[in-house]
Amino acid sequence: MHPFYGPSSRLLEGSRGAGLVSMGAYLAFWAVALVVAKRELDARFPKLASRAPDADAALAVLRERFARGEIDEASFRNMARILGEDRGDPA
């Protein structure tokens, strides 16, 4: 059996609390490992955008129509505001 699995008073025995140092290193290792794992998972699987995909597609079509000159600026802003209200965001 590992010597540090005994009672907690044994953690302080030995060369100036080597048990506490060992336990601290163990906890620090896992803290760093969990942070690195979370960052990797977030990088590989980014969170979905907070906007609804339909609203984003509608805004893209609206921008294209405005760029082609099919609608004027006032209509564009009005429609974009309405789409923003549909997603719950004030535009």
CA distance 63 to 21: 60
Q: Are 24 and 45 in contact (CB under 8 A)?
A: no
Q: From CA 55, how far away is CA 78, in angstroms rounded?
A: 14
Query: Which pLDDT score is estimated for 3?
Result: 57
Mean predicted confidence (pLDDT) in 57-79: 93
pLDDT given for residue 20 in this prediction: 78
Residue 90 has pLDDT above 90, yes or no: no
What are the structure tokens assigned to 45, written together? 């699987």
Structure token pair of residue 65:
């129509």
**pTM of the predicted structure, to 2 decimals:** 0.39
The per-residue pLDDT for range 7-66, each reduced to its tens digit, is 556 555 666 667 778 888 999 999 999 999 999 988 888 775 444 566 688 889 999 999
- Tell me how far apart the alpha carbons of residues 15 and 52 are, in angstroms, rounded to a whole number: 60
Between 77 and 14, the more confident residue is 77
